[in-house]
Structure 1
Amino acid sequence: MTVENVVRTVAAAHRAERGALLPVLHAVQAELGYIPQEAIPVLADEFNLSRADVHGVVTFYHDFRREPAGRTVVRICRAEACQALGAQELVDYVRAAGMPLGQTTPDGAVTVEQVFCLGNCALGPALEVNGRLHGRVGPAALGALLEGAAAS
């Protein structure tokens, strides 16, 4: 199925909703793994918006990807509670390992992102690996998770 077909099918399923652009963007990303550039004009057409309006929404919200994510997605919480409990050490570890924050490794294995609350404040620093929440993660545990991700 082409990107245009996916976008139009998803838009049709949400057409009756008020303010449907965000739910449609989430659904397109769930279907394709990201919001491809060629989806922007189709969404603009579907919702009678300018391309700039749609592009602005996609680029404003950090949850939307414009490139395919890696096979493993690691999301490090940077909210206040996790920061107080050592999240910066996790970010420093990722940087020292040569992994670009907010990007995918060249081999497509891992994408490391920063988020601002995973709702696991009592067990910070927290991170999420492919949707699975981990608490009280130190650099050594993060290293083991990343090694496991790179091996898969």
Structure 2
Amino acid sequence: MKGLVRGAICADAGRFRQWHKASSPVVCAGPPQAFDDADMYLVQARLRGAADAMLPPDVAARITRHAEAGTGLEHVTVHPEDKGEAVLGLFLVAASAEAAESAAWEICVRTLAGTPELDAFCLKSCRVSVPVVCLEWLLRDDDRLG
């Protein structure tokens, strides 16, 4: 890891980012200047395969290899689920949630197309995920909730 950077890991603009900067650091593999005009986003990519389909054990490394320079990919996590499904967590530095989702989609499509071991899988969705701590913090100060 090259740097310890303070920033947000959610798509919410202002309030969470301010709270997060004041409370805890985000560790990323990129240089600190990567956050100057962008934020870190967690995009969850859902894969669907046959019920008996298994992901290769090095799928995170394969995804990283298929990411082109400039996509903002920092880290990948893999969460196999039941019946041939899996959730990939792609941490990307991007200017917006839409840009992060688009970059994640392109990386996943490129990986699926270039990896014969993943022929049994298709990409179901790519969406920015908002961590529960972010939602709890945003709702805590919402007067509409009583």
Normalising by structure 1, report the TM-score.
0.25
Instruction: Say which structure is richer in strand.
Output: 2
Q: Which has the larger radius of gyration?
A: 1
Normalising by structure 2, report the TM-score.
0.25
- Looking at both structures, which has the greater relative contact order when contacts are Cα pairs under 8 Å and sequence separation is at least 6? 2
Instruction: Say which structure is richer in helix.
Output: 1
